[in-house]
Structure 1
């Protein structure tokens, strides 16, 4: 039995009430090695309980560990040596059976002695054998139950360990996913904050550039000064135009740039630009265009899309100082609900620009679309190219994705929604008409004094009599005082009442009043779709062309004031 339990030996000591000592129970080893270890062990047994000890066993030359348990009636159970799978205390129930058997044997011994004395030896032997068989059967039954219990305990321990390991992995995965989501949220919030700041700064810059470009344009038209002064004015105007382009890129990143979306034939647009892109790349870069013939038209602002494509090509060229290959490809894609958390479900065209350049590491890639972030040298770039393309994609209800690996090149994917109209459906005939030179009255509304002064001068040079107002409320007071304008030119973003709101009020009082909204950026909310818009800053020719598209080609006729 000891071997089944994983021990070297099982020993039971019983108290001798006559001598007051412990003796090995019948059926167990009767001669013990003795020595100091046994003396110490027997002394500890007097205190009862359960403990572990080291004793000389099976002889005085060898020491073995022992697991000791003292039963309430003073019997000592010992599992000696080996690696027991149970504790001695767990055998207390089985030990009771063994001790009962031993006591039964003692009684049977006394009965045998009496039987021998009376000559009944056969009956005593039969009774003893029967008792032994019953005890052995009970012991075997308890041993089987003990083995089953040990097996169940081992199985439960394995299941618990597996459950704990799985739980830890699930917790780690959940923590990793939450950390990833928090990082993405922080990045989105940071980009949104930068976008708001950038859009506001760009709008203010447009207001500053408007009088600068307008005044320089007037000086150029009038030919003020000598040749040297005219060259200086031309240089200043060119610098102002470059600043205007920079502001447009800022507005594109902030998704506040006025766009003129239409159905664009992407195949034709890319092929028309292929020669320009090839000349920009230089002789060391191979330009490859791979576009399917049946590519559907996309919804986009063609001019801004051309600028975005050229920006991506220039970035690719700068990433290949030793030459390489630039590939422009496109293919239609269907986004199903739930497939993308950034794209609406629907049909798209994915425009890809790939290069074989130096690529980007993870740190650079994570900041690639941030405004003013650039890996180029000082003076070699503004850091607004990718941010402008990203803002353009989002403004068109598309998306931008960048994949790159250091030393393995970069791919920029631009998703654009498929247009429901055929390509060119939104193109209108160019209006090259001469600016109207009538005697009508133009009502000019702008809360920026310098912008209003410069715009008023342009309108007067176009032949209009100009009435100025620094707010929508001031414009309404002019109408209440009897003014009946033939043209309304108004800023959009103004305190208390926007230009779009003013336009609605005035057109309800004056039928067929031509309206032109002028703004650094025009938010779509609250602006009627039919009201034309002109983006600041602008020259007189742009203002004249916008007015020419509004006004009839005949002389301006006075309109009857319809007041409510």
Structure 2
């Protein structure tokens, strides 16, 4: 190692003041006239100013006035440069540098100015000393990205530099010092290493066989890259209080594995991570929030923990530990966070792939266990799966193919076209694919199969993405069925012949018996039952072609069936429609057998069966729609309830700010805008609740005629001058049972929809009439007396498909941003909740008529009562017990009650409130939420009233089911303002 003390070193002599060589004498030779002073130090920024003001008494360089011209020239060049440079001069290598180099020195600046080179960079001296010796020996050196472990900021850090050391000669040509031009490349080196590391990590994660392997690969790679003592993953358990460590890379310490409590490592630290903040600690002993005993037990002094937070829940963390204190650099923390993001994505992908493989294995095992052919195709019919039964039956290993190829290569030639026609029809209509065909076996013989498949749709778009099907062997059943049908057909043919011979059966049979000449395709003979069924006399049918009576849509199928008869095949259960004499159509089912040039048939009128089947299918579809709407109603009702809880503190806080007039004019305008938006959100939630049939309705007798007339001006101003508004309602119109506020909102929504459907103007007609519904009226209503409220427009109208979806929540044809899609669904929910119905009549280009059917009320509407006076904001009104499980709602409501003069006691649950009651807590008023975990607000109210009958009770809820709520409990709907709360309390006090 080079001796750092160069003052007595003779291997690299420096010139003395007398020009001779030696190790003693004045510090610098070649000094010029002191009158030259230090003019060469003019400028140079902070470093030049520092040199000019520096006390050089203790510096090995001496005063600048004595510096030789060679040193002055180099220093002048250095101070004028924007590139990091320094000069080391003289036997003790006195250190001079410019402003850019001062940034490299860090905390060593400004004390490094004029100091000895070795004293400044003692920690890297073993690395740079050989290069210094070479420069002082007259040999220039260059190093690129040389790693150096420096201490510039109070701690050791790894750095990289690219630099050159050049010898500097004095006036006598002797090397008197060295000059360095350098640049720090730490960021570039770290960035390159980081890129290389992340690329290698990505490859390892791609090759990981499962989630555990992905975590192990990440921990090992990151631990080696950072030189950490421990890297691992911890996963938060369902209880939210324990973490499970299953993967850990350890170097020189024991791995952390097993179950641990979160509070063992400091609740403050865990809470910060729950909020998604990366926890960075350089020394746990210097951080009072850390639990020292826990960290000492696992030999950890410094750590970084990166949390994985999804949808507000803390799922897991990636941690990196050091045994000793460690000043984490920003690059290290950024790398750990990047690795956490990538590794968790890989872990979740590996978990998904693992579960997918498990699911596919279970599915294949289940499918192979079924003794029938199971298959899957994509939307176009390209096969994606056949189970083992396919290969066992056909003798051909499964290979991906298409539906036409399967039909051509495996299905009987006579059945292929019908198979593809049925599949194409199923794809076109989106209905079930159902067909019977014969499939060739491995032996070359054919067996009959019943094929059925259902479409699977993309949940987001509703488009068919694949077909799931099964082919069931029905060959034995088919043969038995055909034998039986053939026997029946033969018997029926004989019946027809004998009937004609004997006359009695022919004349009185209820079945339609006929003989058709195959060559001419005309009726030779028909029995009287044809007249009873179709109205044609027998002479009007006989000698006429059968095609004269067939429905146009059934003509092709009938011709195909008749062609089979011409080929000598029987027709079994063929159905088509025949025209009646009065212009109607009847469905007929044929069993026909050819013999001797004639077709002998026994035909039944199956029109009633068809109609029953259609009614059944319509009922099933209505049931599916009802179940769908009920499910959506439950979902939207729950969401709306949660939104009301969120809106309550928002509306309350904004109302308080407005009432107190806080802020500047601009701030008050912003508060007013926020309050207006909150009101719009409140209205939106009310619409959701109306659709879900969960809004708290105040159902009273309503004078519909008066209500509609009173809204005429508002509707006219809303629709604009291009639209004529007409109101029609009888003078003696009975009252309806309804909530007037909700009914007004529904009418306004329907009027806005009508306006949007008439962009060029038109007529909006609102009418009301009394209707009496008996049985069989066709509406989903009980027989009884109703008020039919109609909102009709002359606008664009809707097609059948659009009208069928019109009452679905969020369905809108107005385009993005032009409507919530809740207007009709809200009106539909309101009518249904009141025991009525909503009906839509619409045709494209002819307008739309929306009918609201509301039950009539047997009670006359009462005159509007004067609103109770609000409770004043001054004075004491007593003590109020406030119960709500939502803390923010409770805080907002407590503030309102305090403003109204109440002393407030708060409880977070009904059980906590019961505890206060049992402990003798005094209060005059109970204000409680309804829906809470455990006991409901209704249950709490009954319990408090039983113990303290004098206590007044106000029930507050985002929504309330009618069941389980006593009618004598006053209710206030969330969200609410202070004035609304005050009015409810005033009403409560007035009624006692």
Corresponding residue of 2:655: 217
Corresponding residue of 2:7: none
Deviation at 1:526?
1.4
User: What is the alpha-carbon distance in structure 1 between the residues aligned to residue 896 and residue 691 of structure 2?
Assistant: 31
Corresponding residue of 1:501: 939
Corresponding residue of 1:50: none
Corresponding residue of 1:175: 613
User: What is the alpha-carbon distance in structure 2 between the residues aligned to residue 482 and residue 208 of structure 1?
Assistant: 33
Corresponding residue of 1:477: 915
Corresponding residue of 1:388: 826
User: What is the alpha-carbon distance in structure 1 between the residues aligned to residue 817 and residue 499 of structure 2?
Assistant: 83
Corresponding residue of 1:510: 948
Report runs of 4+ in structure 1 exceeding 6 Å deviation: 145-148, 152-158
Q: Secondary structure at the match of 1:551?
A: helix
Deviation at 1:552?
5.4
Corresponding residue of 2:771: 333
Are 2:641 and 1:203 aligned? yes
Corresponding residue of 1:68: none
Corresponding residue of 1:249: 687
How big is each residue's C-alpha offset from its partner over 1:102-134, in whole Å with a ceiling of 9 and x where there is no partner?
xxxxxxxxxxxxxxxxxxxxxxxxxxxxxxxxx
Deviation at 1:386?
0.5
User: What is the alpha-carbon distance in structure 1 between the residues aligned to residue 732 and residue 680 of structure 2?
Assistant: 38
Deviation at 1:169?
3.6
User: What is the alpha-carbon distance in structure 2 between the residues aligned to residue 146 and residue 263 of structure 1?
Assistant: 73
Corresponding residue of 2:925: 487
Corresponding residue of 1:428: 865
* Preserved contact between residue 884 and residue 909 of structure 2 (Cα < 8 Å): yes
Provide closer, same or farther for how the CA distance between residues 174 and 239 of structure 1 changes in structure 2, counting only shifts above 3 A.
same
Query: Equivalent of 2:793, from 339, 355, 370?
Result: 355
* Preserved contact between residue 870 and residue 985 of structure 2 (Cα < 8 Å): no
Deviation at 1:420?
1.5
Deviation at 1:485?
1.4
How big is each residue's C-alpha offset from its partner over 1:126-181, in whole Å with a ceiling of 9 and x where there is no partner?
xxxxxxxxxxxxxxxxxxx9997375686679745678443544443333222211
Query: Equivalent of 1:452, from 860, 881, 890?
Result: 890
* Preserved contact between residue 435 and residue 547 of structure 1 (Cα < 8 Å): no
Scaled by the length of structure 2, what TM-score is found? Answer: 0.40
Deviation at 1:341?
5.5
How big is each residue's C-alpha offset from its partner over 1:73-101, in whole Å with a ceiling of 9 and x where there is no partner?
xxxxxxxxxxxxxxxxx9xxxxxxxxxxx
Corresponding residue of 1:539: 977
1:437-448 to 2 correspondence within 5 Å? 437-448=875-886
Corresponding residue of 1:344: 782
Q: Secondary structure at the match of 1:393?
A: helix
User: What is the alpha-carbon distance in structure 1 between the residues aligned to residue 513 and residue 950 of structure 2?
Assistant: 82
Q: Secondary structure at the match of 1:244?
A: helix
How big is each residue's C-alpha offset from its partner over 1:347-396, in whole Å with a ceiling of 9 and x where there is no partner?
11101111111100011001000111111122211111111111111111
User: What is the alpha-carbon distance in structure 2 between the residues aligned to residue 532 and residue 439 of structure 1?
Assistant: 19
How big is each residue's C-alpha offset from its partner over 1:465-486, in whole Å with a ceiling of 9 and x where there is no partner?
1111111111000011111210
User: What is the alpha-carbon distance in structure 1 between the residues aligned to residue 797 and residue 749 of structure 2?
Assistant: 16
Q: Secondary structure at the match of 2:604?
A: helix
In the alignment, structure 1 segments of 5+ residues that lack a partner are 1-89, 91-144, 555-564
1:111-130 to 2 correspondence within 5 Å? none
Q: Which has the larger radius of gyration?
A: 1
1:317-332 to 2 correspondence within 5 Å? 317-332=755-770
Give the aligned CA root-mean-square deviation in angstroms: 2.4
* Preserved contact between residue 358 and residue 409 of structure 1 (Cα < 8 Å): yes
Are 2:752 and 1:314 aligned? yes
Query: Equivalent of 1:301, from 691, 714, 739?
Result: 739
- Count matched residues: 410
Query: Equivalent of 1:149, from 475, 497, 501?
Result: 501
Q: Secondary structure at the match of 1:531?
A: coil
Q: Secondary structure at the match of 1:485?
A: coil
Provide closer, same or farther for how the CA distance between residues 256 and 484 of structure 1 changes in structure 2, counting only shifts above 3 A.
same
Provide closer, same or farther for how the CA distance between residues 158 and 198 of structure 1 changes in structure 2, counting only shifts above 3 A.
closer
Identify, as 1 or 2, the structure richer in strand. 2
User: What is the alpha-carbon distance in structure 1 between the residues aligned to residue 756 and residue 897 of structure 2?
Assistant: 45
User: What is the alpha-carbon distance in structure 2 between the residues aligned to residue 262 and residue 501 of structure 1?
Assistant: 26
Corresponding residue of 1:60: none
How big is each residue's C-alpha offset from its partner over 1:277-325, in whole Å with a ceiling of 9 and x where there is no partner?
1222222211111111110111111111111111111111111111111
User: What is the alpha-carbon distance in structure 2 between the residues aligned to residue 153 and residue 281 of structure 1?
Assistant: 71
Corresponding residue of 2:665: 227
How big is each residue's C-alpha offset from its partner over 1:512-559, in whole Å with a ceiling of 9 and x where there is no partner?
3111000001211111111111000111111111111112599xxxxx
Corresponding residue of 2:352: none
Scaled by the length of structure 1, what TM-score is found? Answer: 0.69
User: What is the alpha-carbon distance in structure 1 between the residues aligned to residue 795 and residue 770 of structure 2?
Assistant: 26
Q: Secondary structure at the match of 2:787?
A: strand
User: What is the alpha-carbon distance in structure 1 between the residues aligned to residue 971 and residue 746 of structure 2?
Assistant: 22
Deviation at 1:237?
1.3
User: Which structure exhibits the higher relative contact order, with contacts defined as CA atoms closer than 8 Å and separated by 6 or more residues?
Assistant: 1
Are 2:960 and 1:522 aligned? yes
Are 2:716 and 1:278 aligned? yes
Query: Equivalent of 2:855, from 413, 417, 421?
Result: 417
Provide closer, same or farther for how the CA distance between residues 536 and 148 of structure 1 changes in structure 2, counting only shifts above 3 A.
closer
User: What is the alpha-carbon distance in structure 2 between the residues aligned to residue 482 and residue 148 of structure 1?
Assistant: 100
* Preserved contact between residue 511 and residue 604 of structure 2 (Cα < 8 Å): no
Provide closer, same or farther for how the CA distance between residues 157 and 187 of structure 1 changes in structure 2, counting only shifts above 3 A.
closer
User: What is the alpha-carbon distance in structure 1 between the residues aligned to residue 498 and residue 743 of structure 2?
Assistant: 80
User: What is the alpha-carbon distance in structure 1 between the residues aligned to residue 681 and residue 886 of structure 2?
Assistant: 19
Provide closer, same or farther for how the CA distance between residues 168 and 460 of structure 1 changes in structure 2, counting only shifts above 3 A.
same
Corresponding residue of 1:193: 631
User: What is the alpha-carbon distance in structure 1 between the residues aligned to residue 851 and residue 703 of structure 2?
Assistant: 18
Q: Please say which of residues 198-207 and 306-315 is displaced more in the overlay.
A: 306-315
Q: Secondary structure at the match of 2:817?
A: coil
User: What is the alpha-carbon distance in structure 2 between the residues aligned to residue 282 and residue 184 of structure 1?
Assistant: 38
Corresponding residue of 2:816: 378
Corresponding residue of 1:80: none
User: What is the alpha-carbon distance in structure 1 between the residues aligned to residue 729 and residue 825 of structure 2?
Assistant: 25
Corresponding residue of 1:462: 900
User: What is the alpha-carbon distance in structure 2 between the residues aligned to residue 392 and residue 159 of structure 1?
Assistant: 53
User: What is the alpha-carbon distance in structure 1 between the residues aligned to residue 857 and residue 872 of structure 2?
Assistant: 34
Q: Secondary structure at the match of 1:493?
A: coil
* Preserved contact between residue 198 and residue 251 of structure 1 (Cα < 8 Å): yes
* Preserved contact between residue 868 and residue 990 of structure 2 (Cα < 8 Å): no
* Preserved contact between residue 435 and residue 548 of structure 1 (Cα < 8 Å): no
